[in-house]
Amino acid sequence: MKLLDCTLRDGGYRNNWCFTQEIANHVTDQLYHIGVDYVEIGYRNVSVQVPFTGLTSASSNAYIEALRTAVPDANLAVMCHPQYVAKQDVLDMASLGVKMLRFIYPASKRGPTDALIDVATSKGIIATANFTMCTNYSRKVLLAGIEAAAERASVIYLADSNGNMTPSYLVKLMDQVRGVTSKPIGYHNHNNLGLAVANMVAGVGNGLDFADASIGGMGQATGNTPLEAITTYLSREHKMSFDLLRVMELRQYLGQREPNVAVAPDPQQLAMGVYNIHNRFRPLLEMVATEVGVSFILLSRKLDESALNLTELTEAEVRKVAEGMK
């Protein structure tokens, strides 16, 4: 099994991706020496769409080159939204020695993703198809998308963006994925239900090929599987070799520089995990619940019970459900 750290990318949701080059270099160097297989260093070109964001939202050529110079042997990975990435971006990252590109792959809207994956794999890059918000899709739609992606992607990644999974859910889904492809399976999760570590342990026990973690669990909303937890588990239970002292020292180092490393689920985040709603809709639900005068938690449940597409909620839809609660 391979371990990937996503602190510099997913952790950017906690600090607006404002890691300095010095911090990025140190984190990457320490992760390499800890024994982490891949270091995800950021998004490519998200800064074009989201203004006033920092270094790791762009993953520019200069940033990648600086990391490569500082830690020449680390396996670097970059997350790509296909709408912000062009063929030349892939070629540039390949020439700079990036080893893995993680392409967001909506189950029902393939768009330009396949062409970019083909470019990446032609250059010897591991190209993953990351099925974000995968719990929002019907199993039929999700498995059809996975089967299509497996024709060209190197790895199929199940991303529990909503923090909605339980251990048995993940194990069953992995088994179903194996029914449509023999490609390696990766897993990325969030901790809305407080089950991130439990889910990851279940996935590892069921033969997971790639696992994501972050330092202190630093990531969007409730964060991810903490690196310090999963490396300790893998060391003790699976006899994998990690420098656990460096893990603890790195957690301390980042905590001293980034006050928002760790986060526990609050009641609203917990509700969004239970009712399978992505964190990006939280401001919308908060606004409507306040204006209409209904409970955020009850509104989340009503949305889950509705026939709405929870991946593309609109203000009008949410407001209609809220007003129906009066």
- Per residue in 87-116, pLDDT (tens digit) is 999 999 999 999 999 999 988 766 789 999
Q: Strand pairing partners for 43? A: 79
Q: If pLDDT is split at 50, 70 and 90, which confidence band does 148 have?
A: very high
How confident is the model over 133-159, as a mean pLDDT?
A: 96
The pLDDT value recorded for residue 270 is: 83
User: Mean pLDDT score of the chain, rounded to an integer?
Assistant: 95
Is the pLDDT score of 210 beyond 80?
Answer: yes
What CA dihedral angle connects 68, 240, 242 and 94, to 10 degrees?
A: 10
Q: If pLDDT is split at 50, 70 and 90, which confidence band does 230 have?
A: very high
The pLDDT value recorded for residue 88 is: 98
pTM over 0.85: yes
Pairwise CA distance, residues 182 & 192, whole Å: 30
Of 9-18, 207-216, 250-259, give the lowest mean pLDDT range: 250-259
Q: Domains of the chain by range and CATH?
A: 2-257 (3.20.20.70), 267-323 (no CATH)
How confident is the model over 288-316, as a mean pLDDT?
A: 95
Pairwise CA distance, residues 227 & 223, whole Å: 11
